């Protein structure tokens, strides 16, 4: 994504063969939403995309945290943001009471801590972030860079984030006011190098490339159908409207994310491709989906008294199989490790 060195070296990269993307998904305990993710290196030989899907409990609230992080100049920044951004957010004292300010603080604190941890060998490392935070009936989307968030509300595609590009009038003005410059080098770039105007990391350009997120809040109501978070490996070749049209008929969020990832590959995306889909349920639809999911995982899990891959009451399912937790050791039943946390199945789920 976006870094000149990557552009210059792309012609010498060996394109990876098309493979099924790494994928998975889950369902919230309150059955209000499900989620799925899919991630693939695409035609690149290296992978700089990271993602995080997490359901947690904070002050008695069930919260969902979802993110896509597209690295450049190596994986260091994107990996660090994945590991630390949500941890910093949910421990913020105002996370529930003033979520917007908590998000802004968490973004900037994570960026600052990453820069402190870096050495000279990683000074070019940076990352975008597109995140969605669910708290009660509020959906807060925050981003830096060009990983985008799109919702489907009332059947229509609506972008709920703005791609941060250096040729945008306000972004260019901010960069120039800080003493930087924007120039054309295959595309518009900060300092002739970086194709995004906001990012984590990027030590050498930090004066101009900030990690201040733009935050948009949406109400979760009956008109909100689903959310898509994705790296520019999707958005470079698939429009907002096309993405929404592909997801709409697919009830299973994991399958929807896989569909987007595979479509981007088939359309010739030259970048890593990562997609997260979050589906919001009306009560009746949620009940039906929830019971179908129970049947998939509980036949095996009920015999052991535990279902693994349950992280704060979210069922993590990969290809219809559940990861089990037995005697303190996790047994992964697929090729992708999942968060291993054991929970007893409530009797109400087995009725």
> pLDDT tens digit string along 118-149?
765 667 899 999 999 999 999 999 999 999 99
Cα-based angle 150, 147, 142 (whole degrees, multiple of 5): 70
User: 208 and 103, same structural domain?
Assistant: yes
Q: CATH no. for residue 213?
A: 3.60.40.10
Domain of 340 in residue numbering reads as 286-350
Number of neighbouring beta carbons within 10 Å of residue 225: 18
User: 34 and 179, same structural domain?
Assistant: yes
Higher pLDDT, 343 or 118: 118
User: 300 and 242, same structural domain?
Assistant: no
CB within 8 Å of 348: residues ≥ 6 apart:
none
User: 216 and 85, same structural domain?
Assistant: yes
Sign of CA dihedral 90, 332, 77, 232: negative
Which pLDDT does position 342 carry in this prediction?
A: 34
Number of neighbouring beta carbons within 10 Å of residue 153: 18
User: 319 and 247, same structural domain?
Assistant: no
pLDDT at 319 over 70: no
Which pLDDT does position 317 carry in this prediction?
A: 37
What is the pLDDT averaged over residues 269-291? 79
pLDDT at 205 over 70: yes
CB within 8 Å of 323: residues ≥ 6 apart:
308, 309, 316, 330, 331, 332, 333, 334, 338, 340
What are the beta bridge partners of residue 159?
A: 150
- Which among 281, 312, 342 is the end of a domain? 281
Which pLDDT does position 292 carry in this prediction?
A: 58
User: 295 and 243, same structural domain?
Assistant: no
User: 301 and 270, same structural domain?
Assistant: no
Give the Cα separation of 105 and 89 in Å (integer): 8
Surface-to-core class of residue 299, CB atoms within 10 Å of its CB (0-12 exposed, 13-18 middle, 19+ buried): exposed
- DSSP H helices, the chain, are 4-9, 76-90, 99-117, 169-177, 232-235, 240-247, 253-266, 283-304, 347-350
User: Residue 200: phi, psi to the nearest 5?
Assistant: -80, 150
- Which among 264, 281, 298 is the end of a domain? 281
User: 308 and 228, same structural domain?
Assistant: no
User: 340 and 208, same structural domain?
Assistant: no
Mark residue 347 as left, alpha or beta (left: phi above 0; alpha: psi -120 to 50; beta: remaining).
alpha
> What is this structure's pTM?
0.80
User: 301 and 210, same structural domain?
Assistant: no
Give the Cα separation of 215 and 180 in Å (integer): 25
pLDDT at 82 over 70: yes
User: 146 and 36, same structural domain?
Assistant: yes
Count of domains for the chain: 2
pLDDT at 230 over 60: yes
Give the DSSP letter string of 115-150.
HHH--GGGTT-EE-EEEEEEETTEEEEEEESS-EEE
């Amino acid at each position: 994504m976006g870094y000149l060195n990557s552009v210059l070296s792309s012609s010498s990269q060996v394109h990876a063969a098309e493979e099924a993307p790494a994928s998975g998904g889950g369902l919230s305990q309150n059955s209000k939403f499900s989620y799925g993710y899919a991630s693939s290196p695409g035609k690149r030989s290296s992978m700089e995309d990271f993602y995080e899907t997490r359901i947690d409990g904070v002050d008695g609230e069930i919260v969902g945290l979802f993110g896509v992080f597209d690295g450049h100049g190596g994986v260091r920044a994107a990996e660090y943001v994945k590991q630390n951004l949500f941890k910093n957010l949910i421990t913020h004292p105002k996370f529930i009471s003033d979520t917007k300010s908590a998000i802004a603080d968490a973004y900037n604190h994570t960026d600052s801590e990453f820069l402190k941890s870096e050495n000279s060998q990683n000074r070019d490392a940076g990352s975008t972030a597109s995140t969605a935070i669910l708290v009660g009936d509020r959906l807060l989307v925050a981003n830096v860079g060009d990983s985008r968030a799109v919702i489907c509300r009332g059947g229509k595609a609506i972008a709920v984030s703005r791609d941060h590009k250096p040729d945008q009038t306000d972004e260019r003005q901010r960069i120039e006011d800080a003493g930087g410059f924007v120039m054309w080098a295959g595309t518009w770039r900060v300092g002739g190098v970086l194709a995004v105007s906001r990012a984590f990391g990027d030590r050498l350009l930090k004066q101009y490339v900030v990690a201040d997120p733009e935050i948009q809040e949406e109400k979760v109501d009956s008109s909100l159908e689903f959310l898509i978070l994705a790296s520019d490996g999707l958005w470079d070749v698939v429009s907002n409207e096309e993405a929404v049209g592909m997801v709409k008929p697919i009830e299973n969020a994991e399958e929807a994310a896989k569909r987007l990832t595979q479509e981007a590959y088939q359309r010739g995306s030259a970048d890593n491709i990562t997609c997260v889909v979050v589906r919001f349920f009306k009560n009746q639809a949620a009940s039906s989906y929830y019971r179908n999911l129970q049947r998939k995982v509980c036949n095996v899990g009920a015999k052991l008294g535990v279902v693994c891959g349950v992280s704060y009451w979210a069922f993590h399912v990969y290809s219809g199989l559940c990861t089990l937790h037995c005697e303190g050791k996790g047994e992964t039943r697929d090729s992708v490790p999942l968060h291993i946390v054991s929970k007893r199945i409530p009797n109400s789920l087995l009725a």
